[in-house]
Structure 1
Amino acid sequence: MPFTCTAHVDDQWRELQQQRELAWDLDAISDRGEALAFLRRFENCLCIYSAYAQKLYSRYSFVIPQSEQGDITILPGEPAWLATYNDIPVQAVEPTGVHIMPGEALGYSGLYLKVPSENRLVASKELPFHAGLKLLIERFQARGEPFLPVLVKEELRGFEGRMPSLHLHRIVPARLGPRAQPDIGAMQEAIVEHLLGLFRRT
């Protein structure tokens, strides 16, 4: 990755870690409409990966069917070629076990992250969004790896639970094939910018 791009991403990570609050004002999730409203809050705030197409979309819209039987689909934004990263192999995207959920599911307000412990014998932690994300960034930085969280399109099928959550996956740059290499810097920058945008939304 060019130095200027690396420095820019590093600056963005520092800004992300310095954020102090995230105001969401979520109501209790109790029906389909509220569950889908929760999902829509993440539209264009997290990149979405399609395992079938092996593409990562940074600009898109959720297409939600009127009936409860249909699946949620993704409509790439325009111009799609500027906001889509191609040739991302399935093995380069791994589950983190981290879930984003409304605090109301836990008896709190705001947005929370359920973060698994590094020790599998220790229970996961439910943390306010900022504290949880900061913990994850620091955890992966300690390993010498970037934390590049994304949603997976295929996991959005049937997303209409009474207490919904979104499972975060992550891009593992070391597993990207040679055809994706020229886009690594731009893709990492897009993911980080989305996270910053998520913090700035109120």
Structure 2
Amino acid sequence: MARLFIAIELPDEIKETLSSFCCDLPGMRWVPTDQIHLTLRFLGDVQPKEAAGLKEALAAIAFAPFPLTVQGVGHFPPHGHPRVLWIGLEESRPLLELQQRIETAVAGAGIVPEERRFSPHITIARIKENASAAVKLFEVKHRQLSFPPFTVEDFILFSSVLSPKGATHRRERTFRSRS
């Protein structure tokens, strides 16, 4: 059994800039630079037989390369004590269409459909204690955050192994764009 998720890798320049934000905010566990990504679908534990079917279904997805713009900041949940600090994305119809095709492929491989609506974001920190004031200051400081668009040409199936030091991600397979 493997713990899997599907994501878009970000350009190194964006990941390095986002990593540079890990500053003196108390109670936050920052995502390591090499693990910053845009999750399209978290799958959880998947049996080998389902994983094989999933890879086949994902390989059948056709999509054209498209631009994506990383911009803005926020947190989850939107009300109450923040638990996740995230960087946002400019609205993108091609991104939503790709995610929907992935969701259809996942369901076709026999994996339980996601019940929550897809909310595109890049997690940069998990918040361990009540840090509402620090999160608010961070969001005010970075609310104008925006990067030049980059082109999405593939998505990746990752496995994730949990340990006391955190998760380790490994690329299982890359799926390239094609029209």
TM interval, short-chain normalised: under 0.3
Identify, as 1 or 2, the structure richer in helix: 1
TM-score by length of 2: 0.25
Instruction: Tell me which protein shows more strand as a share of its residues.
Output: 2
TM-score, normalised via structure 1 length: 0.23
